[in-house]
């Protein structure tokens, strides 16, 4: 066991349902063990700027069903600008933090992994609606996002059928199409397009024509925001990059919809779900998973097992090396995507 008197917790990257259940579980478990908890506001930025709030039982009361994060978030990368990483390390000493729990996706946990190599006592908690972090079967936030997307697809079915239209639904998924694939299967989409496989526009239009030839005068197409047309770059909203080198995606749905209408002659409409997938109250699955992750993260801190990330493997919560978890992208299982393809057209 490691002596820990004061613990810091932060949330970084895109928000998602389930963050507050994790914060609540960390705070409750730590306080029960006699460890004080400091909330670091707005991700790694809060450690650079000393933007800190104490967390107690009152702070986390009633936050279980709330979406977003009470700590705020940012896409700050302390290793991007000269001097910021050094200031962060100095502030850890100033605050007398014995350990940090970082809740985030590949970018936030990538920073945590670098800090761990520099001797910082850090534990990671995997968070992303994209479900693309390796070494864990699921990340919290994913289940809620899929259910939101599925419900939207269900609703698009009725209006598409009424107006005899093609409906294109653009969902999130920068590098991996987990949301598109799972929501597409659950929502009965006729075509699902993901970043793992280039978009074959000819094949998509032919599938839609075949449906019409069989008397189906509407179709539902689900496309992940990071999906790309063959031999073309990703469709983006702008070329300005964030601290981690990412451009803002979005627009592939509208581009696809215009091409489908032009090639098939069938009236096409586009719905971009965007941040709706991140907002609102977390599902029961995400509340429970977030709670389990938070408790396990504190247990790792108390045991002195740093440089690890908590993960779900089967139904067990395990600890895996941060470097391993943040170093590899988890793409859609080909077997799962093959199931979606069975229903194409």
Q: 84-88: long-range contacts (C-beta < 8 A, 24 or more apart)?
A: 84/48, 87/48, 88/44, 88/47, 88/48, 88/115
Question: Among candidates 168, 198, 193, 190, which has minimal Cα distance to 180?
Answer: 193
Phi, psi angles (nearest 5°) of residue 194: -130, 160
- Identify whether the C-beta of residue 271 lies closer than 8 Å to the C-beta of residue 148: no
Burial of 204 (0-12, 13-18, 19+ CB in 10 A): buried
Identify the architecture of domain 6-140+282-326 in CATH: 3-Layer(aba) Sandwich (3.40)
Residues of the chain with CATH 3.40.50.450: 6-140+282-326
- Identify whether the C-beta of residue 202 lies closer than 8 Å to the C-beta of residue 230: no
Cβ neighbours of 27 (radius 10 Å): 26
Q: 53-58: long-range contacts (C-beta < 8 A, 24 or more apart)?
A: 55/9, 55/23, 55/27, 56/27, 56/31, 57/27, 57/28, 57/31
Query: Looking up tokens 């451009």, which residue turns up?
Result: 247
For residue 339, the model assigns a pLDDT of 94
- Identify whether the C-beta of residue 308 lies closer than 8 Å to the C-beta of residue 324: no
Give every CB contact of residue 91 below 8 A, 6+ residues apart in sequence.
47, 48, 50
Residue 319 CA, distance from chain mean position: 20
* Chain segment 1-54, per-residue pLDDT in tens: 568 999 999 999 888 999 999 999 999 999 999 999 999 999 999 999 999 999
Q: How far apart are the first and last CA of the chain?
A: 58
- Which pTM does this prediction carry? 0.92
Q: Report, in this order, helix, strand and coil percent for the chain, each rounded to 5.
A: 40, 20, 40
* Chain segment 198-231, per-residue pLDDT in tens: 999 999 999 999 999 998 889 999 999 999 998 7
CA R_g for the chain: 22
Give every CB contact of residue 281 below 8 A, 6+ residues apart in sequence.
17, 65, 66, 67, 144
Instruction: Examine the residue annotation and report whether 243 is marked as an active-site residue of this protein.
Output: no
Residue of 130, 132, 143, 286 marked catalytic: 130
Beta bridge partners of 309: 124, 320
- What is d(CA 126, CA 293) in angstroms, rounded to the nearest whole number? 8
- Identify whether the C-beta of residue 52 lies closer than 8 Å to the C-beta of residue 39: yes
CATH superfamily assigned to domain 144-278: Phosphofructokinase domain (3.40.50.460)
| Count of all residues that appear for the chain in the document | 345
Which residues of the chain are under the pLDDT cut of 70?
Answer: 1-2, 238-248
- What is d(CA 139, CA 313) in angstroms, rounded to the nearest whole number? 11
For residue 27, the model assigns a pLDDT of 98
Show the tokens assigned to 115. Answer: 């800090």
Show the tokens assigned to 328. Answer: 């590899």
Residues of the chain with CATH 3.40.50.460: 144-278
Show the tokens assigned to 262. Answer: 């032009």
């Amino acid at each position: 066991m490691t002596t820990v008197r004061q613990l810091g917790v932060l949330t970084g990257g895109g928000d998602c349902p389930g963050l507050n259940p994790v914060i609540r579980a960390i705070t409750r478990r730590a306080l029960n063990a006699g460890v004080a908890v400091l909330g670091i506001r707005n991700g790694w930025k809060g450690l650079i700027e000393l933007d800190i709030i104490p967390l107690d039982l009152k702070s986390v009361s009633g936050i279980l069903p709330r979406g977003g994060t009470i700590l705020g978030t940012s896409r700050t990368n302390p290793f991007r600008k000269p001097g910021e990483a050094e200031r962060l390390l100095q502030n850890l000493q100033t605050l007398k933090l014995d350990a940090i729990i970082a809740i985030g996706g590949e970018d936030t946990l990538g920073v945590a992994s670098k800090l761990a190599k520099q001797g910082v006592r850090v534990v990671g908690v995997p968070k992303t609606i994209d479900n693309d972090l390796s070494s864990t079967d699921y990340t919290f936030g994913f289940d809620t996002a899929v259910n939101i997307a599925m419900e939207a697809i269900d609703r698009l079915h009725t209006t598409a059928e009424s107006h005899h239209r093609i409906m294109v639904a653009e969902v999130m998924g920068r590098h991996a199409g987990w949301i598109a694939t799972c929501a597409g299967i659950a929502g009965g989409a006729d075509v699902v397009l993901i970043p793992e496989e280039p978009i074959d526009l000819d094949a998509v239009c032919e599938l839609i024509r075949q449906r019409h030839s069989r008397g189906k005068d509407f179709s539902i197409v689900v496309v992940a925001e990071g999906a790309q047309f063959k031999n073309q770059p990703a469709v983006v909203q702008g070329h300005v990059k964030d601290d981690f080198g990412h451009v803002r995606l979005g627009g592939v749905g509208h581009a696809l919809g215009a091409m489908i209408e032009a090639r098939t002659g069938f009236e096409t409409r586009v719905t971009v779900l965007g941040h709706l997938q991140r907002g609102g109250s977390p599902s029961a699955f995400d509340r429970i998973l977030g709670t389990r992750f938070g408790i396990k993260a504190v247990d790792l801190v108390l045991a002195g097992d740093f440089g690890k990330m908590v993960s779900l493997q089967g139904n067990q919560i395990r600890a895996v090396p941060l470097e391993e978890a943040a170093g590899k992208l988890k793409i859609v299982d080909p077997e799962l995507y093959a199931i979606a393809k069975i229903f194409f057209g």
